[in-house]
Amino acid sequence: MSFAWQKTSNSPAPAREAGLAHSPAAIPMAIVRGMLSGLAAPAEPPWLGGLLRQCGIPPERLRLEGACVTGEQYVGLYRLLMDRLDDECVGLLSRPLRRGSFALIARSALGARSVRGALHRIIRALGILIDDVGIELVAGEGLLGMAVRPRGQAAPPDFFFELLLRVGWGLTAWLGGGRLPLPRVEFCFSRPAYAALYESAFPAALAFDRPAAAIWFAAAELETPIRRDARELERFLAGTPANVVLAWPVNGGLGARIYNRLLDERPLWPGLKLLAQELNMSVSTLQRRLAAEGASYQSIKDGLRRDLAAMRLATGEATLSTLAAELGYSDAAAFQRAFKGWTGLAPGAYRLRRRQAGFAP
């Protein structure tokens, strides 16, 4: 039960399952620290360094601002933490959410007749399993939603609320067939330093410092019938935690493999011919199979560059020359032209807008 960050539309494509955004080229270390925030008191456990190394994450990078991990590393660390703690909420709550809890919730929700009924069952099951917060179905202005309210002074870390909203949305959307837009999302904490990334994780109108964290849906969208069966659910559960923590391109498909290969080799981007050879297929076959997934080599490469650049501009102070080199451009001018083509804004204007919106590095 977790999530990652990336550009997405308000209507997740069916191929991406679960209604989740496609996962990012790189996940900021601030998100990793959030996942680990339940282990921070009174001190991080001595075994954590070993888990980080198992995932290929040097422990000293954990405190390094601007550092990132890959989706694969993030999923691996999450899985190791769940195994070590026997807790699907990885220490974020006062008592563990034992392994198998998510499967129990999903199976209960599958028995509902409508997506609205599934959401109600999800909320009810979470309320039984979790003591630290109040979880309820809320309604207003043609919307229905799931609200998560802190209880008392010992509220879970902020990351828990992000996590629960993301998973609640993802499971509900998956049960309904994969598409469930969010008109509004609210958080019960102040805007975090990496809030620029929320625009991708929660493509909706966002509000902070609210009494409860909440995801809101158009009520009419929830009246659709459940579109999954038991066999599909078992396949879905067999893919957890990866298909819950991260979705496309990390957790499957040819586009995923290309995306991660480019990520691993950046900025020395392997060409289409080399990738085809590595995959034991012709260039035309590779292009045809990517097209069937709604992608191309160039779109994957451009998306990776765009998202890395947007994240670095929003969360750091790297110069344009540095970013150009990191992304494999010949000079800063070439990078600026490409970025403006992707976003409609020059990199400097994009960074300034993030700062003015309160998205501090």
In degrees rounded to 5, what are phi and psi of residue 139? -140, 155
10-residue mean pLDDT series, the chain (361 residues): 34 29 58 89 85 89 76 84 95 94 96 96 96 95 94 86 90 83 92 71 86 95 92 83 54 66 79 92 90 75 80 77 89 90 82 60 42
Are 128 and 181 within one domain? yes
Domain CATH for 267: 1.10.10.60
Reported residue count of the chain is 361
Tell me if 219 is assigned to some domain: yes
Are 198 and 260 within one domain? no
Are 130 and 56 within one domain? yes
For residue 309, the number of C-alpha atoms closer than 13 Å in the C-beta half-sphere is 31
CB under 8 Å to 290, separation ≥6 — which residues?
254, 255, 258, 296, 297, 300
Are 220 and 278 within one domain? no
Tell me if 1 is assigned to some domain: no
Tell me if 181 is assigned to some domain: yes
Tell me if 106 is assigned to some domain: yes
pLDDT at 302: 83
Tell me if 9 is assigned to some domain: no
Q: Among 214, 242, 270, where does a domain finish?
A: 242
Are 303 and 167 within one domain? no
Question: What is the total count of domains within the chain?
Answer: 2
Are 302 and 204 within one domain? no
Tell me if 85 is assigned to some domain: yes
pLDDT at 26: 62
Q: Among 242, 276, 299, where does a domain finish?
A: 242
pLDDT at 334: 93
Are 128 and 39 within one domain? yes
Domain that holds residue 88: 14-242
Are 92 and 168 within one domain? yes
Instruction: Of 1, 41, 7, give the one whose Cα is nearest residue 24.
Output: 7
Are 191 and 323 within one domain? no
**Full-model pTM:** 0.66
Are 152 and 39 within one domain? yes
Query: Strand, helix or coil at 137?
Result: strand
pLDDT at 267: 76
Tell me if 336 is assigned to some domain: yes
Tell me if 6 is assigned to some domain: no
Q: Among 209, 242, 275, where does a domain finish?
A: 242
Distance separating alpha carbons of residues 34 and 167, to the nearest angstrom: 16
Distance separating alpha carbons of residues 321 and 175, to the nearest angstrom: 46
pLDDT at 144: 96
